[in-house]
Structure 1
Amino acid sequence: MENIYIIGHKKPDTDAICSAIAYAYFKDENFIAARCGEINAETRYVLEYFDVDPPIFISDGKGKKFILVDHNEFLQSVDNIDKAEILEVIDHHKINFSFFSPIFFHTEPVGSTATIIADRYINRMEKKIAGILLSSILSDTVILTSSTTTEKDKEIVKKLASLSGIEDINTFGMDMKRKKSSLKDLTASQIILSDFKDFNFGKGKVGIGQIEVVDFKESEDRREELIQELERLKDKNNYSLLLLMVTNIVERASKLFVVGDKSKAEEAFKKPVKNHSIYLDGTMSRKKDVVPFIERVFK
């Protein structure tokens, strides 16, 4: 039987990787977990902690069959996804999807794609799969503090924590986040693109990267370098607006580093851009706290 690949978005986060692994686990043997980007330090820690193999790497989707998880926009998917056959989508983001034939499309306004998968298969959960799904939810919801967190996420987390043997989700969650928060050994490009998404809005192309830190100091020390790299990427890829969202998970706030049409960012957040940045208290989620406001001003 022909292989069917279950794949998350480019620049994959823990949810994109672990949801693909978990969903493939619950399917038949010809369903294979895949990725179209490098695995970040947080996700690597999770896979090693629960002794789970990473998905295979796929660079081109042409002629293949896919189930998409944690995304539904072709711009964020594996290259040549428009030349592939899509059988199914499981996601928790805004819908921007069309396909030539009817497919199964499951979306819910929850904090993580892993929440949807765990809810469906909670009675078939073994320890390591429960562990990676738990990790995905804690990652996407910033340990249940993000504005995207729902009661369903909290309920599923309790069940998965019990099944996976994680007694203190806050300590485990912070251990995960610390693996991803150090910028010391990363280039400016790696920082910006480590968790990055493209958006084609009505009046322009926008790119938004996000990093999570426990202190703003490292990013402030490298401000000039990061702004220069943002400018280079903006010119190279013809972005109308390019943002780096530096999210402090302790302070529960974000700084946006902004290049391009700064007036759009000012209009979106009702604040001036000073020295290429805007401070946003309480802002943790790109999906809920940033993207809708940017999209609105580009219509």
Structure 2
Amino acid sequence: MAYAALSSLIYTLNQLLKPNQSLVCQCCTQQHLESLCQNLSALQDFLDNTTTKDIGTLKVIEMRIRNVVYKAEDKVDSSLRSIILADHENKRQKACRSFYEELLKVEQQVYFLNKEVMLVEFNKHGIKSAESATNPSSLEKSKIEENSIVGMEDDFNIIFDRVTSQTDELTVIPIFGMGGIGKTTLARKVFGDSYIRSRFDEHVWVTISEEYNERQMLLEVVSSITRSKQETSDDQLMEIVKGESRIFRTWVHQVKCIEVRIDP
């Protein structure tokens, strides 16, 4: 039943990926649809190829997959129906936004299902088998993170939830403690997470030392956004900031910041 549910949802999503498909609005990007289809296929591969003998765990995972996929297909179908029935552009745009939001939620749920599957395979066979079980054919496009931070999984999940939550306000998430306990490693794992990165247009990593340098920090931000590595004078830097002011205003509205502090 879990396999059939996956096949049904994959079929629905693949219809939306066909050329000249005008049903889905532009806000529902092809990237998210392809990523979701790929991760759903990875779950099918797991059901096909798993060698685990823990029948109880396997049944629990199958039930989780089935429940998530059934609910996901209902929500996707409902959102698509709203788009079809929209009788004017405002309603259509609202329905499109709703569909896109539901797609992101489903993508996140399937992402976590794949992490559960990886854990089952890892416990049985080790990391190599876990990788092949969840994505044997296209690891380079949609790789579930295997570099777990021992003892920090709960911290990662808490930060993940805060970073991906829907809010219009600036969010600052501090990570503080003694040196050497893995704060920067945790922050880098969050920063590099493929699902989190898909939720933001820009990603900026800035290091601030005890000798605070505003100019250097601004240069790091500007170079990350403009993709420029050229040496820049103060006047040129100000011109860039002025010229990119619209981009900066848009960027600031979606800022979520993870701050790593090292206690003395």
Above 0.5 in TM-score? no
Q: Relative contact order (C-alpha < 8 Å, sep 6+): which is higher?
A: 2
Report which of the two structures shows the higher radius of gyration computed on alpha carbons.
Answer: 2
Higher strand proportion, which one? 1
